[in-house]
Chains A and B, each alone.
Chain A
């Protein structure tokens, strides 16, 4: 093959500049290195020993007795010395950087929702503690069933977080009253609507987030859903179902079925005639038989025990295992049961929030429109303590996940109040002003993974993430015992 000479392209004349550049001389140095000592080691992983090895292993009783004889005297001496020692009195060690005050880390909002005058009705942290979601709706006015609303989620660990631009926004056809993230799936969140529906979304798919919905069937709530929770399924504890409570008096358990439909698996109905009569209650208006439920909390110690807050202001101790049928004429595909086992002494107005202590099986808090917090023990109807925190309503109360004696409350006067029962049982230790114009704070949640964070949502449509001072995140030495003592003040 012969190479043909190509026509060389004509030189193009163009005006141009020429520049030259040169880097400064680069400094270099040379050094030589040699190891003088070396060692050989072989490494191999071993199959980890199974946990729960037999505790009574083969051993030689005489040798064990001889060992104990040798060490007993020394151990007893040390135990006695320790018991009388004052060597460590007042000695405290700080392992983490001390944070002296409460600061506001983030102020998050979604302008289109705020522009519509929507309130933040509920906040929830996801299972990894890095995403906070809020539900927009309204808590004061009546019929907003045709108002479009939003659920927004912000990923706080992402770089370049824009507080006015949530990482995920879900449009919802009706006001959302409550929200709860899935306990193990970081992006699944359940919400209860003003229309009575319960929906489950996946916020990692913003184009098509809806996973399951109850739809508007005979089983659905007929009143706004005030709280939703995720519960482990009784037989498969890694799968979860959704529990919803509404002011129609029903407590319903839903499971995600095929075709995006939430199926009703179990249901409970509260009827006035079936309330336990251990506490004298005001007679309800004629004709009303349902008891509206406005809040629910499960005890971490007994998975079938739960506390309901009601519109009548009295908390109810209920059980998932209740078998008595409910005397209600509400239609339902699953037989409705009466769950209430014990009625507690009421507040002066409807309850908005209940919270069970994560450190003591018998203690729970309730907060309501009378501006009071009641600390109840499961063992008696009268509250152990009644604290007035606000002259307006109290919308939310939550126990701290790390300090047994600390809880936080959201008030209608625009503050988040932090109570440390170790310091004072009468007034809040810290009162954080969230809104400038005293508009109410409607919801708050502690972050269980990053325990110094507390998210609170208010009537201006903003969610503020507060970083708590170290005094609220580190347990004192005898807190669990002090809580035990508090709970034991049950009147005999």
Chain B
């Protein structure tokens, strides 16, 4: 089980341009990360809040709908969040310019 988790995260991390990968639980606490401690805590807290807001926005517009994926594109890179009931998978990619 443990090995499968590590394998999957390693596969994602080794993708082209990926700068960091982390898994955050439902309370916004990081569980796995490839970045340093302070950066991870910052990303985890902020993106957890943003994901909750995005999810409630989608459901307010249409209660039958739900958030499946969140992407934030910034000048320097792209942050992708795959949300779930219990966890969040956050991947930061530096796309080819």
Flag if B9 contacts A62 (CB, 8 Å): no
Contacts of B12 in A (CB 8 A): 72, 75-76, 79
Flag if A79 contacts B41 (CB, 8 Å): no
Proximity bits, B25-49, A CB within 8 Å = 1, else 0: 1000111110001101100000000
List of 9 A-B pairs having minimum Cβ-Cβ separation, nearest first: A71-B82, A61-B1, A68-B8, A67-B87, A79-B15, A57-B29, A65-B4, A55-B30, A83-B16
Q: How many residues of A contact B (CB 8 A)?
A: 34
Proximity bits, B71-91, A CB within 8 Å = 1, else 0: 101011010101010110101
Flag if B95 contacts A82 (CB, 8 Å): yes
- Which of B11, B29, B68 sits near A53, CB closer than 8 Å? B29
A61-108 at interface with B (beta carbon < 8 Å): 61-65, 67-72, 74-76, 78-80, 82-85, 88
Contact A64-B80, Cβ < 8 Å, known A72-B11, A75-B89: no
Contact A477-B97, Cβ < 8 Å, known A55-B40, A61-B1, A64-B31: yes
Flag if B97 contacts A478 (CB, 8 Å): yes
**Chain A interface residues (CB < 8 Å from chain B):** 51-57, 59, 61-65, 67-72, 74-76, 78-80, 82-85, 88, 475-478
Complex CA distance for A264 and B89, rounded to whole angstroms = 55
Contacts of B93 in A (CB 8 A): 79, 82-83
Known: A65-B5, A68-B9. 7 other contacts (CB 8 A): A68-B89, A69-B8, A71-B89, A75-B82, A78-B71, A79-B12, A83-B17
Contacts of B68 in A (CB 8 A): 74
Contacts of B15 in A (CB 8 A): 76, 79-80, 83
Complex CA distance for A75 and B38, rounded to whole angstroms = 24
A95 CB to closest chain B CB (Å) equals 10
**Chain B interface residues (CB < 8 Å from chain A):** 1-2, 4-5, 8-9, 11-12, 15-18, 23, 25, 29-33, 37-38, 40-41, 68-69, 71, 73, 75-76, 78, 80, 82, 84, 86-87, 89, 91, 93, 95-97
Considering the complex, give the chain B residue whose CB is closest to the CB of A474. Answer: B75
Flag if A74 contacts B82 (CB, 8 Å): yes
Contacts of A74 in B (CB 8 A): 68-69, 82
Flag if A83 contacts B84 (CB, 8 Å): no
Contacts of A88 in B (CB 8 A): 73, 95
A363 CB to closest chain B CB (Å) equals 20
Contacts of B30 in A (CB 8 A): 53, 55, 57
Contacts of B25 in A (CB 8 A): 57, 59
13 A-B pairs, CB-CB below 8 angstroms?
A: A53-B41, A55-B40, A55-B41, A57-B29, A67-B84, A68-B4, A72-B12, A75-B12, A79-B12, A79-B16, A79-B80, A84-B96, A85-B95
Flag if A78 contacts B80 (CB, 8 Å): yes
Flag if A52 contacts B38 (CB, 8 Å): yes
Contact A57-B31, Cβ < 8 Å, known A65-B5, A76-B12: yes
Flag if B23 contacts A64 (CB, 8 Å): yes
A351 CB to closest chain B CB (Å) equals 35
B43 CB to closest chain A CB (Å) equals 12
Contacts of B33 in A (CB 8 A): 55
Complex CA distance for A78 and B68, rounded to whole angstroms = 12
Flag if B89 contacts A477 (CB, 8 Å): no
- Which of B1, B37, B80 sits near A65, CB closer than 8 Å? B1
Contact A61-B5, Cβ < 8 Å, known A53-B41, A76-B15: yes
Contacts of B41 in A (CB 8 A): 51-53, 55
A439 CB to closest chain B CB (Å) equals 41
Complex CA distance for A319 and B76, rounded to whole angstroms = 34
Contacts of B32 in A (CB 8 A): 55
Contacts of B86 in A (CB 8 A): 63, 67
Complex CA distance for A69 and B12, rounded to whole angstroms = 12
A368 CB to closest chain B CB (Å) equals 36
Contacts of B73 in A (CB 8 A): 88
A60 CB to closest chain B CB (Å) equals 8
Flag if A78 contacts B69 (CB, 8 Å): yes
Complex CA distance for A54 and B1, rounded to whole angstroms = 21
